[in-house]
Structure 1
Amino acid sequence: MVKIERSECAWTCPQGDPCLEREIIGALRCSPILARLLWNRGVRSVEEAGRFLDVKLTDLVAPEAFNDMARAVARIRQGLARREKIAVFGDYDADGVSATAILMLFFNHLGARAQAFLPHRVNEGYGLSPDAVRRMHAWGANLVITVDNGIGCAEEIAYGRGLGMDFVITDHHEAGDTLPAGVPILNPKAPGERYPFRDLAGAGVAFKLMWALARELSGQAKVSESFRTLLLRAIALACLGTVSDVVPLLGENRIITRHGLRILREQENAGLKALRASACGAASVLRAHDVAFRLGPRLNAAGRLGDPGRALELLMTEDPARAAALALELDKENDRRRRIEERIISQARTAAADARLGDAPCIVLANPDWHVGVIGIAAARIAEEFARPTVLIALEGDSGRGSGRTAGGVALHEVIDAARSLLDDFGGHAEACGLRIKAAHIGPFAERLGAIIRERYPVLRETFAADAVMPPDRLTPAILAECAALAPFGEDNRPPVFIAERLATVGEVRRMGRTRSHLAFFVRSGAAAYRTVYFGGTADADRIAGALTFAYEPRINTFNGASEIELNLKRIL
């Protein structure tokens, strides 16, 4: 990697592989910059480059590639044949709700005796609990299928099996030391799992189970027409969960998202239409960004603040009037979530500043007034602003529930796992985690976590990977079209970001937006001046003068029928 360090931030541009890039240029007849962009996104052959750009459903891995898929399908088919009661136990976030909807749509289509169960985030928390097991047992469940959870619930599953219930586990979270015993496990991250793609979301794993069941019941690899229609709708739901859960939009997730967005645009289901119309407008061109920042937050708001069942009902209803009412409810909940979130962020920001962090490698804060359903979003903002892994804890009496988000390249799950002796419960992955902790252990936990991070990451600093050094005057409409071909954009496949070096600023810097928190100005590159927008950049207003080096995302801005290249400034260097 070639490091470009300015100010407090280290910027890197991958060096690439010139030989492979020449092969890609020749085979695809593309520009050198597209070949470099593909390399930066993990493409390591001409064949991979072709698949990255030509996204086909037929490139999805067969669901039978999971170690335990045959066992899972056999047990579910047995349950269907016996008319057993099947409980689908999900999660309260957008991924868990979408995964639950996928399996419930399938079972409803078959006329099965199935019921969805979703935990209440505030009253129950994440994952299977003994109370949830008892609730499903009281309903009469013979078989429980977990979606987006279960890998870390060995004790609860053993308890449920002792009550006479069977289980099938579908999950995508990192496994702990003890796996659920005696049950089929579908999790690409499970120890010894041979499935070739590790980064499926919970909804992606549920889709794979539905696909395998459809093939089994069709008696062949090619499913019946009714199952095909159902699977296409399931891909749209899997897209919602995949993008909302911020998993890498590469590999199978790229396929699910590209085709899921297309299906969402064409969707006739009343609930999905109402969600889209409420969040984006019925005539909008739906992109992954819209799912991440508009649709997903509305689905999440229901579970963060109250009953996730409303989000599940919205995804499944065929009644336009009910769909419109539910979409309006989620709109209001999302507005309430934003207000709570901003209050928590403001309090956490002040507390972090008052703590005089110095060289402390992490931030751990707790407050009895914080809402457990929103602290994850707030932790992400604080981690980004302070460039440190952050854990925020909502206290409830003598204990608390926390959410953590990473920064500075720290693998959060690994470092918190090393301090788990101070925790009551813990789960998550490299980027984010959830935990339970006694109030008396918060101080020792913060010290222990800081010591672990300091030992394993002696240099902790903000880093940002740009794609290449690119003066704006070298951009052309053809290059921008090649950049757009890399969509859908999301985690690990961000829109291309380039570095511009020592460009002269032109004219005055204007504040814009309802809150006047964004900046707009011009920079000169070659013979042209380019409008540059810096969202949320008011704190850097005094730095915009003279020769400017910065990272930017290029885009086409169309106004009154005229199009021009505009720069979205990401960071001043």
Structure 2
Amino acid sequence: MPAIVARPFAPSDAQTLSQHGLHPVLARIYAARGIGSPQQLEYDLKNLLPLSLLKNAQHMAVLLADAIAAGKRLLVIADYDSDGATACAVAVRALRACGAQVDYLVPNRFEYGYGLTPEIVQLAASARPDMLITVDNGIASVAGVAEANRLGMQVLVTDHHLPGDELPDAACIVNPNQPGCSFPSKNLAGVGVIFYVMLALRAEMRQRDAFAGKAEPNLGNLLDLVALGTVADVVKLDDLNRTLVSNGLKRMRAGKACAGIQALFKVAGRNERRASSWDLGFALGPRLNAAGRLEDMALGIECLLCDDPVRALELAQQLDTLNRERRAIEADMHNQALAALEQITVQDNYSLSLFDPDWHQGVIGILASRLKEKFHRPVIAFAQGNDGEIKGSGRSIAGLHLRDALDLVAKRHPEMIRKFGGHAMAAGLTIAEEDFARFETAFETVCAQLLTPALLTQTVETDGALETPEMSLELAQLLRTEVWGQAFPEPAFQGEFQVEQQRVVGEKHLKLRLKQSGRSFEAMLFFHADPLPERLRAVYRLDVNEYNGNTTLQLLLNHWEPL
């Protein structure tokens, strides 16, 4: 059973934040997330890191401004996830606002795979562009950039993924993680990188007096897209990313989101006027991702580019239908994986590698994530690819940098991994189907060397206990407006309760009434229908329940254990 652990915090930091007017509980929560100064919570756009620190951003702006002035045709090469889709929408909207002739192309993951491949370049060439601009990809596209150069197309790479040993021979590369880049935030999503490049482009065009006699583009209008892509890509919410997300959420709550995002809120049954990070990560993001997972992300990009509310809603409804289909596929794959894992003792393994020829290539990433959460092991799930290949998508746990682990496997077993890339917590790779068993052994060996038994011990982190009077609707509403996400988790608390009432709702959820210190609380435990004991220790979140015009406090249980 996972151990419940309270996050440590510096009391002096909590006191400093509290003295500056923060709610005492919120001050403690922020202190536990490394916030020591109230300035870190001032999400004014004036506090954005300077453009000059992002290597090559200003040089790329010059190249783009020159291309726009010369009437050159630009083609954005997108990626097929939420980050890639929002980055593409930011690029296309901003470039068009600056007078560019621009279109986009997004690879179908099942035909072309990931990134700027030579095949995608050849497909792009049919549109006869003068310049290719990658968003959320390209840093590993050595062969693709070489092919574009051969065909006479200039390539600008914007990406945030970790580079390999060789950089592509592009005309310009903007990536905070490339060698020699001193940008303090290495956690920008792809959409954040292209947003910075567009800020640099506007500054360059302003310097050239290119907006004389006409309105200058307001790039702040794109922050709803930046926020969605940043949260959905699960990048670390450092100070800069929280500023971007906070301002994007403000636009949504003010009813100023683009038509596509408004439509996604509508089909998800969420209220944009009360938009939260949770909405972006768990309601909008999955619906947008569903297009790239099952069909073609062009559907998602069109939704984000659409300015007609009626058409945007039609596109969002199609995305919602795809997401329902994705859920059904994922549920079947999850059951198959659990059945396969019954044949082994998972606790004896440092990693899990699984392959089923019937699994859907677009859903293996979600499957790996679900299994990682359940078993607290690095997981790589594989599905059938083309020409005897299988494609894997992996998710990791704290303590194992997944891309580095794959790099170590590749160095020890040359030629086994045909392609790989990614981050510390998520990565993708391609191997021959016949090499699966060999890869499984090699990856397990590396994980066993890099991980310790302590790192494999699952814990549930909390922000400690709340006094009963602190468990209020006011605090729940306050927490809902803050920015939470990867490496800046939404607050959870622990407490001991008596179960007064419980009943199953929706066939698979428990609706509860819990009692603590003489006070009763309504609560929900989702995806659990078996009865709970009379007394329990629970980890919970404070939630705002809105029903029939009434707004009340509700506890959402994340974890429980009997007392």
TM-score, normalised with respect to structure 1? 0.90
Matched, 1:523 2:514: yes
Matched, 1:491 2:498: no
- Matched-pair contact (CA < 8 Å) for 2:509–2:527: yes
Q: Secondary structure at the match of 1:469?
A: coil
Q: Tell me the equivalent position of 2:89.
A: 101
Give runs of aligned pairs for residues 338-487 of structure 1, distance below 5 A.
Answer: 338-396=327-385, 398-407=388-397, 409-420=399-410, 421=414, 422-459=416-453, 460-476=456-472, 479-480=475-476, 482-484=478-480, 487=482
Q: Distance in 1 between matches of 2:123 and 2:74?
A: 13
Structure 2 unaligned blocks of 5 or more: none
Q: Distance in 1 between matches of 2:374 and 2:295?
A: 28
Deviations 1:168-213, CA, capped at 9 Å, x for gaps: 1111111112122353221112222111111111111111111111
Q: Secondary structure at the match of 2:346?
A: coil
Q: Distance in 2 between matches of 1:222 and 1:345?
A: 55
Matched, 1:74 2:62: yes
Q: 1:243 Cα shift? A: 1.6
Match of 1:316 among 305, 314, 319: 305
Distance change >3 Å, CA 117–CA 219, structure 1 → 2: same
Give runs of aligned pairs for residues 196-345 of structure 1, distance below 5 A.
Answer: 196-219=184-207, 226-229=215-218, 231-265=219-253, 266-267=255-256, 269-280=258-269, 285-345=274-334
- Matched-pair contact (CA < 8 Å) for 2:249–2:275: yes
Match of 1:16 among 9, 15, 20: 9
Distance change >3 Å, CA 20–CA 391, structure 1 → 2: same
| 185-194 or 403-412: bigger deviation | 403-412
Q: Distance in 2 between matches of 1:438 and 1:294?
A: 35
Give runs of aligned pairs for residues 525-544 of structure 1, distance below 5 A.
Answer: 525-538=516-529, 541-542=531-532, 544=533
Distance change >3 Å, CA 346–CA 167, structure 1 → 2: same
Deviations 1:262-309, CA, capped at 9 Å, x for gaps: 223423744333333223367763222222222222221111111211
- Matched-pair contact (CA < 8 Å) for 1:215–1:223: no
Matched, 1:169 2:157: yes
Q: Secondary structure at the match of 1:538?
A: coil
Q: Distance in 1 between matches of 2:272 and 2:74?
A: 39
Q: 1:417 Cα shift? A: 2.0
Q: Tell me the equivalent position of 1:5.
A: none
Distance change >3 Å, CA 381–CA 227, structure 1 → 2: farther
Deviations 1:201-230, CA, capped at 9 Å, x for gaps: 11111111111111111128999884443x
Matched-pair identity in %? 31
Structure 1 unaligned blocks of 5 or more: 1-7
Q: Secondary structure at the match of 1:180?
A: coil
Amino acid at match of 1:506: V
- Matched-pair contact (CA < 8 Å) for 1:169–1:184: yes
Q: Distance in 1 between matches of 2:70 and 2:18?
A: 58
Q: 1:433 Cα shift? A: 1.0
Distance change >3 Å, CA 142–CA 483, structure 1 → 2: same
- Matched-pair contact (CA < 8 Å) for 2:501–2:514: no
Distance change >3 Å, CA 252–CA 505, structure 1 → 2: same
Q: Distance in 2 between matches of 1:521 and 1:51?
A: 38
Match of 2:100 among 112, 123, 144: 112
Q: Secondary structure at the match of 2:107?
A: coil
Q: CA RMSD in A?
A: 2.5
- Matched-pair contact (CA < 8 Å) for 2:270–2:279: no
| 235-244 or 264-273: bigger deviation | 264-273
Amino acid at match of 2:394: G
Q: Tell me the equivalent position of 1:3.
A: none
- Matched-pair contact (CA < 8 Å) for 1:505–1:523: yes
- Matched-pair contact (CA < 8 Å) for 1:274–1:320: yes
Q: 1:250 Cα shift? A: 3.1
Q: Secondary structure at the match of 1:424?
A: strand
Deviations 1:384-414, CA, capped at 9 Å, x for gaps: 1122111111123521111111235432222
- Matched-pair contact (CA < 8 Å) for 2:252–2:273: no
Q: Distance in 1 between matches of 2:223 and 2:434?
A: 45
